[in-house]
Structure 1
Amino acid sequence: MLFENPRASRSVYPADLQEVMSVSSAHQSRDWLSSWEHLSQNSTPLWSLPGVAKEAGVAQFWVKDESVRSPLASFKALGAPIALIRLILRLMPHESFDPRGLITGRYQNDLRDFTVISATDGNHGRALAAAAQSVGCKCVIVLHANVSTERETAIAEYGAQIIRIDGNYDESVEHTAKLAEQNGWPVVSDTSYEGYEVVPRDVMQGYGTISAELIEQTTVDIQVACPFTHVFLQGGVGGMAAGISSYLWEVYQEQRPTFIMVEPKQADCLYQSAVQGRPAKATGSVDSVMAGLACGETSPLAWRFLEPSVDFFLTISDEDAIGAMRLLARGSATDIPIVAGESGVAGLAALKILVRDSEAAKKVGIGSDSRVLIISTEGATAPAVYESLVGESAEAVGARQRNWQLKQL
């Protein structure tokens, strides 16, 4: 289903939002993480896929490939560690820790008795566990029933204590809050709730690195028009979308691109928020193959940014996502094969839906002059799941990607 947001604005980036998240703070976060061993020192690739563009009837189609951001294989590597650093600096101002020294383990002896906790669908918890290991503190991760054992193992590899509960993601968030209160552990969550906004803000701020790289990769002069006419963003609780859209809005102001939010049909909390005009809950089961987007409640903080910036909200099926995964993995003579996980392909799945419906495409403004961007937020974070859905392993797709690149030389 497609919903046009009547509250979307083309005004300048509001001052009250800039006080919460800004380009300057995003740049600071990027600088602090520049020495972390679990982050690539290079920008992630921005692939141009002319074959997909031609099939969709648009001028250009780009994929920002976050699968190689980190050995963690997800964009979440930008959010959790910066939130952990900022949390420690706030809680221990008397220690005068250097932010870069924190993430490189300089103060491990000082932090060995410090514990943080979070609920996760997988990627955020893995990034937090890795950051905690680097910093030298302890980490407790709460997983709900639908998180695969494969993702659990990936988190545990970084030394986190795992706690399993029955129920869904939102119930794991509630359980996390109880444990935090009982034990005096700070929560490092990527979703906000009443009385808890500072840490989720820091998580969202970390995602500004993606936007900064996009601008560097497409134009030398940020004063020129935005290189993208349409940007498709994944849902979840809304943090990643808020981090990226706020950055691009602040840079391009009234000339910002059209933002299109994409969610699983059964985890449509942001879609429902747009319809109701307030942070809302999903109407479905929330159980989706797009594990990173299987969230039942909108982050109120993220909604402050999404309500005035996202122009359209669209829901997709699991089958749509699987088809998009296979399309990117397959590649072609003109298009490089890409390893994109279940949640990473939501934007492509949405584009395919829109171009099959001429009225919907017209409403969104998708046409022959459109320059479309999607963010592939993850690679094969659960390799066995990826192989079962795509029909070949991530390693096989990666090998074909390398062969494709060699042929271009």
Structure 2
Amino acid sequence: MKTVIPANDFKILANPLPVRSEPYARAGRSEILSLAKLVEAEAEITSWPGYRPTPLVRLDGIADAAAVQAILYKDEGSRFGLGSFKALGGAYAVFSLLQGIVAEEIGRKVDVHELIDGSFRNLTEKVTVTCATDGNHGRSVAWGAQMFGCRCVIYVHEHVSLARQKAIAAYGAEVRVHPGNYDEAVRQAAADAAQNQWITVSDTSYEGYTVIPRDVMQGYGVALAESFAQMTPAERPTHVFMQAGVGGVAASFCSYLWERFGEEAPRFIVVEPERADCVYRTLEQGSPCHVKGELDTIMAGLACGEVSIIAWEILKTGMDAVMTITDQSARDAMCLLADAKFGDTPVVAGESAVAGLAGFLLAAQQPDSRKALGLDEKSVIYVFGTEGATDPYLYEEIVGRPAEVVAQPEVTA
């Protein structure tokens, strides 16, 4: 095979626990996420204004260079105009929350259109939702609050770029900058919510806070359901390389595959930044741990130091392995997709979008890791492109040209 991206440092840790050795529904996992609940989320989200499935891109040139059968890249850059898959999670949780509040008040379940048209604005405007974010989740919560009619306060840590802060504020949210890292912002948002009687809509869970994150994670599953509808039978993945911050989307996809396919589920490999490796350390230690410090990585959406406790309940025996990669490998993968050097259609991918692809390519290029993960010429790889250029300035700095130019390559005769 060819060298597709430079061979920077990476680590792989195989899961020492029995992987998917029992039915998914055991041990309370179906109470966290389930295919039945996903059907409910799909019915709501697909009825929202502006909904359309995001594209599943075939990276045939890269697949040939990496000596695998196929690479399927789910490109979330166009999701509801927000630029990331997070639009499926945070906004869905805001909708579910407000739907429940209104139903309790009037004695019946309201539909999404009644909330959007403001029929119950007198009730919803009394509610304030809040969360901490690295950028994309907060943007989704703010968008959901604006669409469904409640107030919103979003906390960002001091390393979140001004471009991402402005993108959140554009949806009418109050943005508060908190010193420290993401996990410290999470704690501040929770403390202020308790004091002000706000409702936290977080994509991470912790002791005493698990219900709303389930709705967030359930919404994410819509993207994978779309993906399978877009695949041919021959394209059913043998391997999924999925990035993780707190682990919410990784657990969402892992649960879907485990419940749907059981023992025939594809191998599931989690990929995260080496500077924010909470899943790696948690697997190594055997229980959730806290990675402290600034968590300084360009993969802003993955800069998390603590695993979501309900996500871990699924990942701890649902994933086959976890990898860590460097920031440079993320940069290399962004440029690879933008430059289309192997003849594929150029793809605009943000820093956090490419972690799964970068992890796969690094492993596939190294004989020992390739063998350990069972990668060969018949492998079909699924990767989740979680975001487009959600920070346009950083994207242009890394790739060397604006996202708009990448998305509209020159046509030669």
TM-score between the two structures when normalised by the length of structure 2? 0.93
Structure 2 contact 20–262 (Cα < 8 Å) conserved:
no
Q: Confirm or deny that 1:312 pairs with 2:321.
A: yes
Aligned residue for 2:209? 196
Aligned residue for 1:145? 158
Question: Using the alignment, how far apart are the partners of 1:108 and 1:74 within structure 2?
Answer: 27
C-alpha distance after superposition, 1:338-373 (max 9, x if no partner): 001000000111112112210011001111111101
The alpha carbon displacement at 1:68 in A equals 1.4
Structure 1 contact 268–284 (Cα < 8 Å) conserved:
no
C-alpha distance after superposition, 1:13-33 (max 9, x if no partner): 233211321112112112112
Distance 1:59 1:400, change over 3 A: same
Match 1:81 to one of 72, 75, 91: 91
Q: Percent identity?
A: 44
Aligned residue for 1:209? 222
Aligned residue for 2:241? 232
Structure 2 contact 14–320 (Cα < 8 Å) conserved:
yes
The alpha carbon displacement at 1:163 in A equals 0.9
Give the unaligned 5+ runs of structure 1: none
Distance 1:210 1:94, change over 3 A: same
Superposed CA RMSD in Å reads 1.7
Q: How many residues in Structure 1 have an aligned counterpart in Structure 2?
A: 398
Q: Confirm or deny that 1:109 pairs with 2:119.
A: no
The alpha carbon displacement at 1:12 in A equals 2.6
**Secondary structure, counterpart of 2:126 in structure 1:** coil
Match 1:2 to one of 6, 12, 17: 12
Q: Confirm or deny that 1:135 pairs with 2:145.
A: no
Structure 2 contact 180–294 (Cα < 8 Å) conserved:
no
Structure 2 contact 55–74 (Cα < 8 Å) conserved:
yes
Question: Using the alignment, how far apart are the partners of 1:53 and 1:282 within structure 2?
Answer: 34
Q: Confirm or deny that 1:19 pairs with 2:28.
A: no
Question: Using the alignment, how far apart are the partners of 1:257 and 1:303 within structure 2?
Answer: 19
Question: Using the alignment, how far apart are the partners of 2:405 and 2:237 within structure 1?
Answer: 31
Question: Using the alignment, how far apart are the partners of 2:306 and 2:321 within structure 1?
Answer: 18
Aligned residue for 2:398? 389
Aligned residue for 2:5? none
Aligned residue for 1:296? 305
Aligned residue for 2:371? 362
After TM superposition, the structure 1 stretch with the greater mean CA deviation from structure 2, 273-282 or 388-397, is 273-282
| Aligned residue identity for 1:79 | G
Question: Using the alignment, how far apart are the partners of 2:114 and 2:400 within structure 1?
Answer: 42
Question: Using the alignment, how far apart are the partners of 2:37 and 2:309 within structure 1?
Answer: 20
Q: Confirm or deny that 1:56 pairs with 2:66.
A: yes
**Secondary structure, counterpart of 1:340 in structure 2:** coil
Aligned residue for 1:334? 343
| Aligned residue identity for 2:226 | E
The alpha carbon displacement at 1:389 in A equals 0.8
Aligned residue for 1:166? 179
Distance 1:201 1:156, change over 3 A: same
Structure 1 contact 268–281 (Cα < 8 Å) conserved:
no
TM-score between the two structures when normalised by the length of structure 1? 0.93
Aligned residue for 1:250? 259
The alpha carbon displacement at 1:219 in A equals 4.2
C-alpha distance after superposition, 1:295-333 (max 9, x if no partner): 011100100011111101000000000000000011146
Question: Using the alignment, how far apart are the partners of 2:125 and 2:94 within structure 1?
Answer: 14
The alpha carbon displacement at 1:103 in A equals 5.1
Distance 1:280 1:138, change over 3 A: same
| Aligned residue identity for 2:65 | E
Question: Using the alignment, how far apart are the partners of 2:180 and 2:400 within structure 1?
Answer: 30
Question: Using the alignment, how far apart are the partners of 1:226 and 1:63 within structure 2?
Answer: 12
Q: Confirm or deny that 1:349 pairs with 2:358.
A: yes
